[in-house]
Chains A and B, each alone.
Chain A
Amino acid sequence: MMRARAGLSVVSAFGLVACSGGVLDPVGPVGRDTSKILIDALLIMLAIVIPTILLAFWMAWRYRASNTKAEYLPYWSYSGRIEAVVWSIPTLTIMFLGGMIWIGSYKLDPFRPLPSQTPPLEVQVVSLDWKWLFIYPQQGVATVNELVVPAGTPVRFSITSASVFNVFFIPQLGSMIYAMPGMVSQLHLQADHPAQLLGMSAHFSGDGFSDMQFQVKSVPPADFNAWAQGVRAAGPVLDQAAYAGLARQSHAVPAFSYSAVDPTLFHAIATQHLPPGPGPTPPGPAGTGRETTPAGKG
């Protein structure tokens, strides 16, 4: 922790002000660990990079043509000792960083469950054109463009796409991972305390991409159960017919919820038993190359 904080202050000195809502302002264990690695790696490299830059400028200035006091060595072009140092500095740095890469990749593998006493909450995530569907199999409900999670509880996300590639990303919680059609990726995240966070797609997916963002609400566990009860009480049902309508392209969809979900739906989407999203409808008039799509006003 101390190192991370020291890191932050160095970073702010370079103008990278730690900001609310960014990846350097984590609210969960994954975000903390990943941002710590980012800052540690940056510091290690700055220790080499800053002296190198200073050396370059000093060398150019010291040996400027107008400086007659500096010695002129027109034939000097080799020194075994300098060569040895020159190859060693980057090699040693990279060996050190290589260790960080190795350990960090295993420790922070998104597929790896988080150590916790509390059993994880299951959330199934489907990226659609252009919104996010969150299915809560344990609660039997679903939401669109709004993710509610209990604070202090690990969340196990199973992520797929019903159309094109997207990336599921909540900057303040840490790691992102691709949502891909016909595949299910896993991601484990946790929010430590109640908060309102921003979630987004971090991979371009077409005309409605810019609004493919969602609210993340981390709430106290008791409130989470109350919330689930409330969602179950009212709202439409997400069955295969309703899903077919949802899968059509739409822009900037306001958050809403489903009181009940077909429990096989996620599996059917991920295995493509339900066909992927249909793309632009109606398709552009035959004979023109210019697609017509509704402007993204939502």
Chain B
Amino acid sequence: MFGKLSWSAIPVSEPIPLITSIVLILVIVGVLGLVTVKGWWPYLWREWITSVDHKRIGIMYCLLGVVMLIRGFADAVMMRTQQAAAIGDAHGYLPPEHYNQIFSAHGTIMIFFAAMPLVIGFMNFVTPLQLGVRDVAFPTLNSVSFWLTASGALLVNISLFIGEFARTGWLPYPPLSQTTYSPGVGVDYYLWAIQISGVGTLMTGINFVTTVLKMRCPGMSYLRMPMFCWTTLAASLLIVAVFPILTATLAMLSLDRYFGWHYFTNTAGGNPMMFMNLIWAWGHPEVYILVLPAFGIFSEVFSTFSGKPLFGYRSMVAATLFICIVAMMTWLHHFFTMGSGPAVNTAFGISTSIIAVGTGVKIYNWIFTMYGGRVRFSVPMLWSLGFIFTFVIGGMTGVLLAVPPADFLVHNSMFLVAHFHNVIIGGVVFGLFAGLDYWFPKAFGFRLHEGWGKAAFWFTFFGFWITFMPLYILGLQGMTRRLQHINIEEWRPMLLLSVLGVAVIAAGVVCQVVMLVVSILKRDQLRDVTGDPWDGRSLEWATPSPAPFFNFAVMPNVEGEEAYWGIKLRAIDTQQLSPEPKYEPIEMPVRSPVGFYTAFFATVTGFALVWHIWWLAGLGLAAAFAGFVVFAWRDVHEYHVPVEEVARVDRARRAAREAVLARLAQQATPS
């Protein structure tokens, strides 16, 4: 009846997962109870859960990403403290079967359920606004994408309480991940969580390729698009190109595990090396899927906070597309040490270092964007400057790893761990934090507290270096990654120093939380009245903050690069806003529960497959499919926003802008 599931799946004898699960369950029950008592369900259901508004979906993606970022950080704290506490004869507090789950969960959660949702969240929130349109190409599909991602994250977290998670690393290399060596449900949780969220990500890719190619506002030609839109396009193209590889590879591993097939098995002609090739053919482009939108965020920040256009815009576009293509030609550098031979290693070593040309150009272009500017050191700019320092060094160690003979010394070592955290934290996470601060007012109508934001930056920046510089040294000392305990006494000082760094990062995390709370409490002082708190240059700043659900009362008409900057210059020039346009009713897509419904049954199906509860898996699949059928038969796709509503929102915005203009004129007169 319940397949492999029984009461013994609950970790009663293991205090850490048990207590964590109980606390988590209590928190969830508490939140649900609060929502019920306060009667917020109808609002949540109407405005968020069934919303197809790209901004709402973007915010939900970011919320999911932030929550999972904290979960992944908790795993990281356990890993670093375990290694520091298990040197010599000591064995620390995590036995191998638990420690191995933690580093596997850390990698899986950070890449798939923290970084990806945050990056996609920004793509969702920002891209349609910057393109001057009212929504993405397929709004309901977008909602399905989000809820499927959330479903995958849920499955990973269920594994904490029921059963176990994979103990095979964030990429489950066979033969270790085959049933012979991993008979438990951990790898199955991994497989179904990633498969379900992977479908969501693939649909996001399709959605955003279509949005950028087909949905730009009048006058928004390709070479007038803000840089972030270009990076969204490049990342989405990569998603469409490589996520099917991930899905197919994991499907093959599932067939091995569930039906005893022999794609990647040790015996009967299976080829585990093929798994490495396939998974990295997805895995390497994946890091560019993460970092390209972060590059887009930095481009916006450097130009806005320098008060200047981006230097070498066309060059930046070329570098982005160059990275997008070369990213798919480098995967073998993840296993130079497998003995492919010098010719193959040379080819992939060179193709890998060639990517540094594209990123190098970008770095110089950001630096020259500041040239002749008026640089304001607001929080997003601090993250961006911290990024340049950190990412340049991370890129350097990356090229070092791309030199095959050097890689023969530090492959899989703590040096490698330090390198990829150097680029992913320094590149992606710093970018996401810059973006959170930068676009927060557009989402919620008030800015984040600057003092706490700066404190968060400094703690995170120094904490990062105190944590990972020792790991570089440990790697050169010969320490390999994923050790549950350490037999070499000489590695102790650096391991302890690294824990100190984690404590400093934790202070940064606390500052971020305090920043959020303080900003909410002081939201009236931090209110963004004009919709343009940073003196922005692209169209998202042309609407009020928070942006109305229809984004723009009238479709913008773009007449050059940096659309909104042009509009502002004209207004200052003529001392008046453009004449009030003729408002018309707006067509918007109707909300739909299909995303939530499908994801609910996808979760049920995934859980049932993990535990071999076949009837439930069949039922879940059928129900999810039925949801699609019902949705496809719907008669009403859109509704009209009445013209009065449109006019009311836009007139309020125009009044605020006129006040700004008057203030500017007043400042200009005395001089």
Contacts and interface: CB of A to CB of B under 8 A. Distances in A.
A76 B372 contact: yes
Given A86-B315, A101-B403, A72 B373 contact: yes
B296 interface: no
Interface in A63-114: 63-65, 70-79, 82-83, 86-87, 89-91, 93-94, 97-98, 100-102, 104-111
A275 to B, nearest CB: 7
Interface in B75-106: 91, 95-97, 100
Nearest to B481: A204
A86 B361 contact: yes
B409 A74 contact: no
Q: Which of A16, A59, A64 has the most chain B CB within a 10 Å cutoff?
A: A59
A283 B372 contact: no
A22 B8 contact: no
A164 B357 contact: no
Contacts of B480: 167, 169, 200-203
A42 B396 contact: yes
Contacts of B652: none
Contacts of B400: 38, 41-42, 45
Nearest to B173: A165
A222 interface: no
Given A49-B396, A94-B354, A181 B472 contact: no
B181 interface: yes
A106 B408 contact: no
Given A177-B337, A285-B8, A296-B96, A206 B176 contact: yes
A151 B357 CA distance: 44
A86 B368 contact: yes
Given A53-B388, A102-B350, A207-B167, A287 B342 contact: no
Contact of A56 (B9, B176, B388): B388
Interface in B286-325: 306-313, 315
B364 A288 contact: no
Contacts of B272: 165, 180-181
A63 B408 contact: no
Q: Which of B405, B411, B484, B488 has the most chain A CB within a 10 Å cutoff?
A: B405
Interface stretch (B45-53, B239-247, B374-382, B506-514): B374-382
A261 B349 CA distance: 41
A93 B315 CA distance: 19
B63 interface: no
A37 B406 CA distance: 6
B356 to A, nearest CB: 6
A206 B167 contact: yes
Interface stretch (A118-126, A209-217, A229-237, A238-246): A209-217
A185 interface: yes
A24 B367 CA distance: 34
A153 B480 CA distance: 27
B160 interface: no
A288 B8 CA distance: 6
Contacts of A42: 396, 400
B385 interface: yes
B175 A164 contact: yes
Given A21-B477, A105-B346, A77 B309 contact: yes
B408 A165 contact: no
B58 interface: no
Q: Which of A31, A90, A169 has the most chain B CB within a 10 Å cutoff?
A: A90
A265 B393 CA distance: 48
A289 B350 contact: no
B370 A60 contact: yes
Contacts of B359: 90
A34 B408 contact: yes
A255 interface: no
A198 interface: yes
Contact of A283 (B183, B338, B341, B350): B183
A290 B7 CA distance: 11
B621 interface: no
B525 interface: no
B477 A105 contact: no
B484 A210 contact: yes
Contacts of A27: none
Interface string B173-199: 101100011111110000000000000
A278 interface: yes
A259 interface: no
Nearest to B163: A289
B379 to A, nearest CB: 14
Contacts of A175: 337, 405, 408-409
Contacts of B367: 52, 55-56, 59
A31 B162 CA distance: 47
A209 B473 contact: no
Interface in B339-362: 339, 341-343, 345-346, 349-350, 353-354, 356-357, 359-361
A63 B372 contact: yes
B389 A16 contact: no
B375 A60 contact: yes
Contacts of B183: 279-280, 283-284, 291
Contact of A45 (B267, B399, B610): B399
Q: Which of B167, B185, B339, B343 has the most chain A CB within a 10 Å cutoff?
A: B339
B611 interface: yes
B388 A296 contact: no
Nearest to A199: B478
Nearest to B276: A165
Nearest to B475: A23
B10 to A, nearest CB: 9
A19 interface: yes
A4 B335 CA distance: 26
Contacts of B167: 206-207
B549 interface: no
A294 to B, nearest CB: 10
A94 to B, nearest CB: 5
Contact of B389 (A34, A56, A65, A276): A56
B482 interface: yes
A90 B396 CA distance: 11
Contact of A101 (B357, B363, B404, B476): B404
A110 B372 contact: no
Contacts of A108: 404-405, 408
B91 A297 contact: yes
A192 to B, nearest CB: 17
B221 interface: no
A111 B271 CA distance: 21
A202 B411 contact: yes
A178 interface: yes
A37 B404 CA distance: 10
A33 interface: yes
A59 B371 contact: yes
A20 interface: yes
B560 to A, nearest CB: 12
Contacts of B354: 94
A59 B100 CA distance: 45
A205 B174 CA distance: 10
Given A78-B311, A104-B403, A198 B408 contact: no
Nearest to A183: B273
A187 B50 CA distance: 59
A204 B372 contact: no
B337 A167 contact: yes
B412 A78 contact: no
Contacts of B339: 110-111, 177-178, 185-186
A49 B409 contact: no
Contacts of A104: 403-406
B4 A24 contact: no
9 contacts: A53-B389, A59-B367, A60-B370, A60-B385, A94-B353, A176-B409, A200-B478, A275-B267, A276-B266
- Chain A to chain B: the 10 pairs with minimum beta-carbon distance, closest first: A90-B360, A73-B372, A171-B478, A289-B185, A289-B163, A175-B408, A77-B309, A38-B406, A22-B477, A101-B349
